[in-house]
Amino acid sequence: MDNNGKNELIRLANTPMPFGKYKGVLLIDLPETYIVWFHGQGFPEGQIGKLLGLLYEIKLNGLEDLIRPLKSK
C-alpha cells in the first residue's frame, strides 16, 4: 500500500462526520446501516464522499477492526 492509501485509512479513523444525524462522530464509528443508506443514495462529492465510499467497502467486508487502531489517542 502506498502512502496515499495509508493516509486515507488514517483519515478514515480520525475524521468526524461533518454534517447530518451523526455530525461529529468519527467516520469509522458510523453505523453500517447509515453507510449502506449513503451507498444507495449516492455519496457526496469531494474528499468526504471518497472516504465514505472507502468506509462502505471496509464495513461490507467486516474490516473495521483493522482501522480502529489507527485512531489518534
Q: Where are the domains of the chain?
A: 3-70
Is the pLDDT assigned to residue 6 strictly greater than 90? no
**Mean pLDDT score of the chain, rounded to an integer?**
92
**Cell triple for residue 36?**
449502506
For residues 3-29, give the mean pLDDT: 92
What pLDDT does 5 receive? Answer: 77
Q: Quick one: what percent of the chain has pLDDT higher than 70?
A: 95
Helix axes 46-60, 3-14, angle to 10 degrees: 90
Q: What number is the average pLDDT over the span 43-63?
A: 95
- First-to-last alpha carbon distance for the chain, in angstroms, is 24
Confidence category of residue 33, pLDDT binned at 50, 70, 90: very high
pTM of the model: 0.89
The angle at the Cα of 42, spanning 61 to 47, to the nearest 5 degrees, equals 80
